[in-house]
A and B are shown apart, each in its own frame.
Chain A
Amino acid sequence: DQQVKQNSPSLSVQEGRISILNCDYTNSMFDYFLWYKKYPAEGPTFLISISSIKDKNEDGRFTVFLNKSAKHLSLHIVPSQPGDSAVYFCAARSDMRFGAGTRLTVKP
């Protein structure tokens, strides 16, 4: 049973706008989460992480929010750039099973 889920297979946004990618989990014992970005024909690359002792972690244009009561994570990209177009995956570190991914397309 998949314990980390990304229910939106794709997202399209305009350059300069905010991109919000969502991830839900079922196991309340998960305490550290990772986001990865994947371009075609390349391996996934680590983007940002968050510990359950925080509800927000920011790194430049990327911010991850964690809502423990809702068992929900979201990745915000502001402002979105065409180079951000990729597939984004979330995972819980203790499980390392990824969600199905969300394909983000940022239009110029």
Chain B
Amino acid sequence: QVHVVQSGAEVKKPGASLKVSCNASGYTFTDYGFSWVRQAPGQGLEWMGWISIFYGDTNYARKFQGRVTLTRDTSTGTVNMELRSLRSDDTAVYYCARESPLAGYPFEYWGQGTPVTVSS
């Protein structure tokens, strides 16, 4: 059974950096990539980027290019998202989502979400 568990809530000051982790288990970790998706309060879903677990390749949404870095640790089954130069509008719930071997590699397994507050 697949489990995806994220790190806990964070409170950060503007200008700081954020790191959120996502631990996956119940399958061969290197078989599937992960995306990160965020959701600001009362708003919709926003795709941030993707990482291939096997190769470590990444793709980032243009909005976050240069400010976000996705990494993975195959020894621990962990995917990490680092977001730098935080602003108040980065306040959101951040989700990791594992792709599935279906047409279009949709996000079938999601973490529980990590609430992040950016405030001075």
Do the two chains belong together in a single complex? Answer: no
Interface residues in chain B, defined as those with a beta carbon under 8 Å from any beta carbon in chain A: none
Interface residues in chain A, defined as those with a beta carbon under 8 Å from any beta carbon in chain B: none
